[in-house]
Chains A and B, each alone.
Chain A
Amino acid sequence: MPLVYAGVCSHAPGITGRADQADPEVRDRFYAAFDGMRADIEESGAEALVVIAAEHFANFFMDNMPTFAIGMADFYDGPIEDPGWLAIDRFRAPGNRDLSRRIITEVMQTVDVSYAEEWRFDHGIAVPLHFVTPRFDLPIIPVNINCQGPPLTPLPRAWALGEALRRAADSVPERIAVIGTGGISHWPATPDSGKINEEWDREFLDRWCRNDHDALVDYDDLGIYADAGQGGFEIRTFVAVSAAAGGASGTVAFYAPIPIFAVGCTIASYDLA
């Protein structure tokens, strides 16, 4: 079936772990936008959710770092972090090994990916799922792009991954939704944590909403690091979703810098209709 939903959201651990330290008014509007994303995905009739994430040394390390990895398991446990620190209880999210295998097989026709039959979700997936599938009743297909340990894949390759995921999603009978989670500008877990480049974020989101391929792949990592921090490398996940949206235009449902969450908090989606 054609892809039924494509969107992006933030995943910073502070969104849940430091919730009580944020301005309640802004925080609650952000949470409401997450609720809107959940409602949209439910309304789409999605039977599985592809989550394109940028995990943070939870499963993948520099001894054998996959540029791209896709989960192929019937379940995924999380969070790998201390549940008290993240304020998300331990959970087991359903997967769908057979569906993953079909998706991976199709993606591999054009993009080399690693697969993982075991995968413990860190905050990069656990935080979005906490809001988007809080009952853990929607099978998840996790996709990872290495955005943490350079060298990192060039942005045109992230785009190619998104195109391949779209082709794969369209090729299976199930209704597939896809979300990307990452960036935008931020300096997470460093002395600069809390710094957010709103102007850079808004320019990026403008390119994202226009689904402007050339502008989206025009960033380079040195510039991203200077303007958007090492957390900005995670725009790869947003770029992949742009490609998966196949030229659709997007809308930002919510954007606001929330420094204690250490990121410009974002919820946005493409109009696939």
Chain B
Amino acid sequence: MSLYYVQKFLYELNRDPDLQAAYMADRRDVLRPYEVTEEEADALIGPDIGLLFHLGVNGQILMHFAALHQIEWADYLALMRDGVARHGPVREGVYAMTGYEGVDARRSRSESDEGA
């Protein structure tokens, strides 16, 4: 999976009205420059907000993608809940929080300091 490129596409889409128009005209074609998997592409084309959240897309990026699709706020929250229910916990990114490298490194350093 390639969460970075999924988020990069959404970041650029959120910023660029021309890309938004191109996306609306041909959702698959605009994804060609991005290194995304079939699963990710299908989620971006659907759109499948719940799957994108499960894949780890940051809500600060995802909420604007939902708004682009005219999805109301309460529905956006429900779609994310549904995605977690369907697919399981968030796989990657800040919400996975099994501890990203920075926190783990800091915690382990802190514990070893306490031990010493």
Closest to B85 in A: A191
How far is it, in angstroms, between the C-alpha of A148 and the C-alpha of B63 when the chains are bound? 14
Q: Which A residues are CB-close (under 8 A) to B102?
A: 150-152, 221
Q: Given contacts A61-B11, A62-B7, A230-B94, are A151 and B73 in contact (CB under 8 A)?
A: no
A81 contacts partner chain B, Cβ-Cβ < 8 Å: yes
Q: Which A residues are CB-close (under 8 A) to B1?
A: none
Q: Which A residues are CB-close (under 8 A) to B80?
A: 190-191
How far is it, in angstroms, between the C-alpha of A61 and the C-alpha of B14 when the chains are bound? 12
How far is it, in angstroms, between the C-alpha of A61 and the C-alpha of B101 when the chains are bound? 19
With an 8 Å Cβ cutoff, the count of chain B residues facing the other chain is: 32
A191 touching B81, Cβ below 8 Å: yes
Q: Which A residues are CB-close (under 8 A) to B7?
A: 57, 61-62
How far is it, in angstroms, between the C-alpha of A58 and the C-alpha of B7 when the chains are bound? 12
Q: Which A residues are CB-close (under 8 A) to B14?
A: 57-58, 80
A203 contacts partner chain B, Cβ-Cβ < 8 Å: no
How far is it, in angstroms, between the C-alpha of A196 and the C-alpha of B63 when the chains are bound? 19
Q: Which B residues are CB-close (under 8 A) to A193?
A: 59, 77
A220 touching B60, Cβ below 8 Å: no
Closest to A81 in B: B64
Question: How far does the Cβ of B104 sit from chain A's closest Cβ, in whole Å?
Answer: 8
User: For the complex, would chain B's binding face be called helix, strand, loop or mixed by DSSP majority?
Assistant: helix
Question: How far does the Cβ of B13 sit from chain A's closest Cβ, in whole Å?
Answer: 11
B100 touching A191, Cβ below 8 Å: no
A80 touching B15, Cβ below 8 Å: yes
Q: Given contacts A18-B73, A58-B15, A190-B80, are A225 and B60 in contact (CB under 8 A)?
A: no
Contact of A220 among B67, B68, B94, B103 (CB under 8 A): B103
User: For the complex, would chain A's binding face be called helix, strand, loop or mixed by DSSP majority?
Assistant: loop
A63 contacts partner chain B, Cβ-Cβ < 8 Å: yes
A190 touching B11, Cβ below 8 Å: no
How far is it, in angstroms, between the C-alpha of A174 and the C-alpha of B25 when the chains are bound? 50
Q: Which B residues are CB-close (under 8 A) to A97?
A: none
Q: Which B residues are CB-close (under 8 A) to A136?
A: none
Closest to A193 in B: B77
B34 contacts partner chain A, Cβ-Cβ < 8 Å: no
How far is it, in angstroms, between the C-alpha of A81 and the C-alpha of B65 when the chains are bound? 11
Contact with A along B91-111 (1 / 0, CB 8 A): 000110101111100110010
Give 20 new A-B contacts, CB below 8 A, not counting A189-B62, A190-B53: A18-B73, A57-B7, A57-B14, A58-B15, A62-B4, A63-B8, A80-B14, A85-B64, A149-B58, A149-B94, A150-B103, A151-B102, A154-B106, A189-B58, A190-B59, A220-B103, A222-B97, A222-B103, A222-B107, A230-B94
